[in-house]
Amino acid sequence: MDYRIDDNLKETEIKKEKIGWLCTYAPEEIIIAAGYHPLRITGKLKAFKSEGYFPINFCPFIKASMEDLLASALKLKGVIFTNSCDGMRRFYDSCRAYLPDLPAFMLDVPRNKNIISIEHFTASLKEMIIFLEELSGKKICSHELESAIGICNEKRMLLKKLSNHFRNNQGSIGVKNYYKILEKSMTDEPEAFIKYIKERIKELRSHLNSASAGPAIMVIGNFINEERLWDIFDEIDCIIASEDMCNSSRYFENIKLSAGAEEVLDAALGAGKESPMAKLLTGIAVRQLYKPQCMRTADMGTKIEEIIKSITRNNIKGLIFISQKFCDNTLLLYPLLREKLAETGIPSLFLEIEHNNISAGQIKTRLQAFLEII
Amino acid sequence: MGIAEKIKDGLKTNIQNNLNKKNIKKILNIISSEPLLSAYGATFASKSDKFLNIYSIKSLQKAYSSRYPVAYGSLFLPFELFHALGLAPFLPEVIGGFTGGLGLADRTLKEASSRWYTPDLCTFHRSASGAVEMDLFPEPDFIICTNIACDAAQKTFYIDAGKFGIKDRFYLIDVPYKKNEGSIKLLAKQLENISADIAAKMNKKIDMEKFASVIDYSNKFRDWALKANGVRKKLLFYPKYFNGLNFILPFHGLAGTKEAADLYRNVYLELNEFLKVQESIFTNTGNYKPEKMFKGRKIPCVDNLKKSRKILWMHLKPYYKNSIFTMLEENNYKIVFEEISNVYWPRLDPEKPFESLAVKMLSNPLNGSIENRVNAILKMALDYGIDGAVLFAHWGCRHSNGGARILKDSLKNIGIPLLILDGDCLNKNNSSEGQISTRLQGFIEIVDSRIQD
Amino acid sequence: MITCGIDVGSVSSEAVVLDRSDEKFNISAYVIAPTGGDSQEAARNVFEEALARSGFSRQDIGSIVATGYGRLNIPFATKNITEISCHARGVINFFPDTKTVIDIGGQDSKVIKLDSKGSPADFLMNDKCAAGTGRFLEVMAKALDIKLTDFAFIFNSTREKVDISSTCTVFAESEIVSLIGHGIEKNRIVKGLVYSITDRIVSMVERIGLEEPVCMTGGVAKNAAVLKALEERLKLKISVPAEPQITGALGAALLG
How many alpha carbons lie under 13 Å from residue A309 in its C-beta half-sphere? 8
> Distance between alpha carbon A22 and the CA centroid of its chain, in Å?
9
What average pLDDT does the segment B63-91 reach?
A: 97
With respect to residue A129, please indicate whether it lies within any of the assigned structural domains.
yes
When CB atoms are compared, the residue of C165, C171, C202 closest to A357 is C165
Q: Which chains touch A (3 or more CB pairs under 8 A)?
A: B, C
The pLDDT value given to residue C249: 96
User: Given an 8 Å threshold on Cβ–Cβ distance, is A359 in contact with C171?
Assistant: yes
> Distance between alpha carbon C106 and the CA centroid of its chain, in Å?
7
The pLDDT value given to residue C30: 96
B365 part of contact set with chain A, CB < 8 Å: no
With respect to residue A368, please indicate whether it lies within any of the assigned structural domains.
yes
A333 part of contact set with chain B, CB < 8 Å: yes
Domain boundary among A88, A109, A140: A140
* Contact (Cβ atoms closer than 8 angstroms) between residue B118 and residue B335: no
The pLDDT value given to residue A262: 86
Cα gap A368→A346, rounded to integer Å? 17
The A residues from 260 to 299 touching C (CB cutoff 8 Å) are none
Boundaries of domain holding A317: 214-252+292-374
Q: Which segments within chain A are labelled E, that is strand?
A: 18-21, 37-40, 76-82, 104-107, 216-221, 239-244, 318-324, 348-353
User: Given an 8 Å threshold on Cβ–Cβ distance, is A55 in contact with B393?
Assistant: yes
Residues in chain C with CB shorter than 8 Å from the CB of B453 are 117, 119
pLDDT tens-digit series, residues B275-310? 999 998 888 765 556 568 888 888 888 889 999 999
pLDDT tens-digit series, residues C202-249? 888 988 889 999 999 999 999 999 999 999 999 999 999 999 999 999
Using DSSP's 3-state secondary structure scheme, residue C59 falls into helix
pLDDT cut 70: percent of chain A above it:
98
pLDDT tens-digit series, residues B1-23? 445 677 778 888 999 999 999 99
Residues in chain A with CB shorter than 8 Å from the CB of B189 are 116
> Alpha-carbon Rg of chain A, whole angstroms?
20
pLDDT tens-digit series, residues C60-92? 999 999 999 899 989 999 999 999 999 999 999
User: Given an 8 Å threshold on Cβ–Cβ distance, is B152 in contact with A328?
Assistant: yes
Cα gap B165→B168, rounded to integer Å? 8
> Distance between alpha carbon C140 and the CA centroid of its chain, in Å?
18
Separation in Å, CA of B265 to nearest CA in chain A: 36
The pLDDT value given to residue B1: 42
Residues in chain C with CB shorter than 8 Å from the CB of A48 are 199, 202-203, 206
When CB atoms are compared, the residue of B172, B399, B406 closest to A86 is B399
CATH code where residue A238 lies = 3.40.50.11900
* Contact (Cβ atoms closer than 8 angstroms) between residue A72 and residue A60: no
A101 and A232 fall within a common domain: no
CB pairs under 8 A between A and C: 34
Cα gap B132→B128, rounded to integer Å? 6
Lowest-confidence pick of A216-230, B20-34, B320-334: B20-34
Residues in chain C with CB shorter than 8 Å from the CB of B417 are 121-122
Q: How many CB atoms lie within 10 A of CB A24?
A: 25
With respect to residue A208, please indicate whether it lies within any of the assigned structural domains.
no
If you average pLDDT over every residue of chain A, what do you get?
92
Q: Which chains touch B (3 or more CB pairs under 8 A)?
A: A, C
When CB atoms are compared, the residue of C166, C178, C206 closest to A51 is C206
Which of B362, B405, B410 is most worth mutating to test chain A (most A CB atoms within 10 A of its CB)? B405
pLDDT band at A321 (very low <50, low <70, confident <90, very high): very high
**Which residues 6+ apart lie within 8 Å of C246 measured at CB?**
C7, C14, C16, C30, C32, C90
Lowest-confidence pick of A252-266, B232-246, C56-70: A252-266
Residues in chain B with CB shorter than 8 Å from the CB of C84 are 438, 442, 445-446
With respect to residue A172, please indicate whether it lies within any of the assigned structural domains.
no
pLDDT cut 70: percent of chain B above it:
97
pTM beyond 0.90: yes
* Contact (Cβ atoms closer than 8 angstroms) between residue B81 and residue B208: no
The pLDDT value given to residue C152: 86
Find the Cα–Cα–Cα–Cα dihedral A349, A353, A356, A357, rounded to 10°. -110
CB pairs under 8 A between A and B: 128
Separation in Å, CA of A190 to nearest CA in chain B: 31
User: Which CA distances in Å does B409 have to A53, A98, A340, B374, B387?
Assistant: 11, 10, 46, 10, 15
A179 part of contact set with chain C, CB < 8 Å: no
Burial B70-97, CB ≥16 within 10 A → b, else e = bbbbbbbbbbbbbbbbbbbbbbbbbbbb
Residues in chain A with CB shorter than 8 Å from the CB of B190 are 116
A309 and A227 fall within a common domain: yes
Closest to C124 (Cα-Cα) out of B210, A130, B421, A94: B421
Which of B114, B150, B155, B391 is most worth mutating to test chain A (most A CB atoms within 10 A of its CB)? B155
A84 and A231 fall within a common domain: no
The pLDDT value given to residue C156: 86
Domains parsed from chain C with CATH numbers: 1-95+243-256 (3.30.420.40), 97-240 (3.30.420.40)
Separation in Å, CA of C142 to nearest CA in chain B: 26
pLDDT tens-digit series, residues C163-205? 877 666 667 777 888 888 888 888 888 888 888 888 888 888 9
The pLDDT value given to residue A272: 67
The pLDDT value given to residue B78: 98
Cα gap B192→B189, rounded to integer Å? 5
pLDDT tens-digit series, residues A139-191? 999 999 999 999 999 999 999 999 999 998 898 999 999 999 999 999 999 99
Q: Would the pLDDT of A101 be above 60?
A: yes
What average pLDDT does the segment C130-154 reach?
A: 83
The pLDDT value given to residue B429: 82
Closest to C7 (Cα-Cα) out of C60, C59, C61, C85: C85
C72 part of contact set with chain B, CB < 8 Å: yes
When CB atoms are compared, the residue of B435, B445, B450 closest to C81 is B445
The pLDDT value given to residue B2: 46
What average pLDDT does the segment B352-366 reach?
A: 98
User: Given an 8 Å threshold on Cβ–Cβ distance, is C128 in contact with B453?
Assistant: no
User: Given an 8 Å threshold on Cβ–Cβ distance, is B445 in contact with C82?
Assistant: yes
ipTM surpasses 0.90: yes
Domain boundary among A125, A140, A155: A140
The pLDDT value given to residue B440: 95
pLDDT band at B435 (very low <50, low <70, confident <90, very high): confident
What average pLDDT does the segment A33-46 reach?
A: 96
Q: Would the pLDDT of A241 be above 50?
A: yes
Query: Which has more confidence, C153 or A149?
Result: A149
CATH code where residue A56 lies = 3.40.50.11890
A245 and A114 fall within a common domain: no
Q: How many domains does one find in chain A?
A: 2
A45 and A136 fall within a common domain: yes
Domains parsed from chain B with CATH numbers: 49-204 (3.40.50.11890)
Classify burial at A67, counting beta carbons within 10 Å of its beta carbon; exposed 0-12, middle 13-18, buried 19 or more.
Answer: buried
